[in-house]
Amino acid sequence: DIQMTQSPSSLSASVGDRVTITCRASQSIGTYLNWYQHKPGKAPKVLIYAASTLLSGVPSRFSGSGSGTDFTLTISSLQPEDFATYYCQQSDSPPQTFGQGTKVEIK
């Protein structure tokens, strides 16, 4: 199975800050990498798929990059509504594993 490792596990940042979350796959997955946002009590929401394609309707402050084994989610200017946990997920092969999550807290 492909293991997905995110870092950091949590972070605290101020409104307006640039935030970067990394995700590493245990083997090459090309660009078969998705990013999700999950808020307590809500359904997870996909932000980015195919490593860098922003889902329609997702604010442009979110961006993704990377290929192979190393990927990045960037929030260019953190907003209060961005308080959430973010997960990467590989869609290369089953089981389509998630990273352990990165909890973003607003300072």
Partner 1 sequence: EVQLVESGGGLVQPGGSLKLSCAASRFTLSSYWMTWVRQAPGKGLEWVANIKQDGSERYYVDSVEGRFTISRDNAKNSLYLLMNSLRAEDTAVYYCARRTYDSDSYFLDYWGQGTLVTVSS
Query: Any contact of residue 100 with partner 1 (CB under 8 A)?
Result: yes
Query: Which residue type sits at 44?
Result: P
**60-64 contact pairs (CB < 8 A, 24+):** 62/35, 64/33, 64/35
Q: Using an 8 Å Cβ cutoff, are 92 and 31 in contact?
A: no
37 is a contact residue toward partner 1 (CB under 8 A)? no
Cβ proximity to partner 1: between 80 and 95 the closer is 95
Q: Does 57 bind partner 1 (CB under 8 A)?
A: no
Q: Which residues pair with 35 in a beta bridge?
A: 48, 88
Element (H, E) at 22: strand 19-25
Q: Which of 38, 58, 65, 74 touches partner 1 by CB under 8 A?
A: 38
Q: Judged by CB under 8 A, does residue 61 bind partner 1?
A: no
Asked if residue 49 binds partner 1 (CB under 8 A), the reply is: yes
Q: Is 31 in the site for partner 1 (CB under 8 A)?
A: yes
List the structure tokens of 83: 């308080």
Q: Tell me which residues touch partner 1 (CB under 8 A).
A: 1, 31-32, 34, 36, 38, 42-46, 49-50, 53, 55, 85, 87, 89, 91, 94-101
